Amino acid sequence: MPKRYGPIAYGLAFVVLIGFFVWWKLFSGQVSSEFLAQYKRIIEITGANVSDPVQSDNSDDSLRIYGVHVVHTPPFKDPFIGYGIYLGQGLVLTAAHVVGRLPGYSHPRVVIAGDDLPAKVLKQGSPEETDLALLLVDQNRLPASLQLRRNPLCQFPLQVGMGVIVGYPERTVRSQIISPLLIPQLYRSKYPTLINESQGSGSGVFSADKKCLIGIMSARVTKFSYQGSKGFMTARENGFAGYFVPVSKGSTFLSSVGKH
């Protein structure tokens, strides 16, 4: 007798599941007014970077045109907005965790040049290993001035003390590469490439001299300062350093450039 009720039970469970997802889309899936305001702002900023290029005595601001926003929608939450860097040919490089662990479900998008474009994930690493993701948007939907641009990648070794520029769509920030000796020893092998402060996930790190792309911001790590004499040194927490994934480490990801 109990077997008779098996198909009915499965059917009811299916109906309940469908009803739950419909309810979530209609109610819980609605975004907040705070997100809508932020979304409107990033559309305006990325559009202005192309239609009205930055007029500034600061040449660093010319890098803002490469900055994009990457958006994905986790279940039961407002969409998450991170950063990315446009490489050219419709390709965007960002941090893997910005795209989310289930990009096929959260449907990542790229806000670039005042438009919101669906993005295809060509390759994605993991935050624990290579925290990079390479995305592709339809470059035919980009303004001609952006279609023609190519973002050069740095080909030289990195050095402590090297000046860098962190690029966002709305601003640029000057910093410098610091030694991993300034962070706890157990993290030094995992986070060997650092700048002096933490920055937004997926933003680009550029050479201050060559204006080429060095890497992508990934994480923040506790930073220490050391005081005292050689015989007796004390370490004191001193904010956070920013870890970036160098483009040289992501060479397997970037092998897709020009081949898609």
The answer to whether residue 255 is domain-embedded is no
Residue 114 sits in the same domain as residue 172: no
Which of 149, 173, 191 terminates a domain? The answer is: 149
To 5 degrees, how large is the angle CA 52–CA 54–CA 55? 105
Residue 127 sits in the same domain as residue 41: yes
The answer to whether residue 156 is domain-embedded is no
Beta carbons within 10 angstroms of residue 242's beta carbon: 26
| pLDDT for 20 | 45
| pLDDT for 25 | 47
Residue 116 sits in the same domain as residue 194: no
Residue 6 sits in the same domain as residue 69: no
pLDDT, tens digit only, all 260 positions of the chain: 455 555 665 556 555 555 544 444 434 456 788 888 999 999 999 999 988 765 555 689 999 999 999 998 876 677 889 999 999 999 999 999 999 877 766 689 999 999 999 999 999 988 888 999 999 999 999 998 888 888 899 989 999 999 999 999 999 999 999 999 999 999 999 999 999 999 999 999 999 999 999 999 999 999 988 776 666 667 788 899 999 999 987 666 676 555 55
Distance CA 189, CA 180 (A): 8
pLDDT in tens, 210-243: 999 999 999 999 998 877 666 666 778 889 999 9
To 5 degrees, how large is the angle CA 26–CA 28–CA 25? 35
Residue range(s) defining the domain that contains residue 16? 1-30
Residue 59 sits in the same domain as residue 75: yes
**Do the Cβ atoms of 107 and 73 come closer than 8 Å?**
yes
Q: Is residue 107 classed exposed, middle or buried when 0-12, 13-18 and 19+ CB atoms within 10 A define those classes?
A: middle
**pTM to 2 decimal places:** 0.82
Q: Structural domain tally of the chain?
A: 3
The answer to whether residue 259 is domain-embedded is no
